[in-house]
Amino acid sequence: MKRWLARYWNVLRRPSVHFSLGFLTLGGFIAGIIFWGGFNTALEATNTEQFCIGCHEMYSHPYQELKDTIHYTNRSGVRAVCSDCHVPHEWTHKIARKMEASKEVWGWLFNTIDTPEKFEAKRRTMAEREWRRLKANDSLECRNCHQFDSMDFTLQSARAKQAHSTALVADGTCIDCHKGIAHKLPEMSGVRLR
């Protein structure tokens, strides 16, 4: 083992006979840029709304529902897209796991929410995952755009002003009070709304 390692090290250490050092450095540099660029482009693509809608529009409603809310059109023209509020879920992870179990990955993946009935049946479970996530990170995604510090409470409705000044001290988090801001609420029995 040690001998093998030593030989391997020697190969790595020896200057290349075929290519100049300059060529190798440049080559590595360019390959790095191409790889990094491709990686980032792929990552960015998964953050676009088109990507999410590709799966989420056809039979289910998150997008249609969003269109009727203030986060789609408002007086100031600032839009929230899917990934602003949702970290892209780990679907690659899910695919990888399911690959082991079944070859019908795609069938399985799409079939969980591919009809309005199935979507409704699953809505509460999915919503709960999102609530848990936002609760755990103190509604980080909301706070990327909304900050208590920058809110002019005097411009807010009496209800909002009251809730927000108490939330400030009681450190409640946005999602405790603002469920269903972007989509229809699921069936809510047993959920305590603040």
Choose the binding region for ligand HEC from 5-13, 21-29, 30-38, 122-130 (rule: CB under 6 A). 122-130
The single residue among 63, 105, 120, 137 that binds ligand HEC, judged by CB under 6 A, is 63
> Does 99 sit near ligand HEC (CB under 6 A)?
no
The correct pick among 56, 59, 98, 120 for binding ligand HEC (CB under 6 A) is 56
139: its two tokens: 């509604």
Q: Under rule CB under 6 A, which residues in 142-161 are in contact with ligand HEC?
A: 142-146, 148, 156-157, 159-160
Of 112, 115, 117, 165, the one binding ligand HEC (CB under 6 A) is: 112
Angstrom CA distances, 130 to 26, 90, 137, 180, stand at 46, 13, 11, 11
Q: Which residue has the tokens 């540099």?
A: 29
User: 22 or 171, CB closer to ligand HEC?
Assistant: 171
Out of 98, 120, 121, 163, the only residue in the binding site for ligand HEC (CB under 6 A) is 163
- Tokens 């019908």, residue located: 104
| Contacts with ligand HEC, residue ranges (CB under 6 A) | 46, 49, 51-56, 62-63, 66, 70-71, 74-76, 78, 80, 82-86, 88-89, 91, 109, 112-113, 122-123, 126-127, 129-131, 139, 141-146, 148, 156-157, 159-160, 163-164, 167, 172-183, 185-186, 194
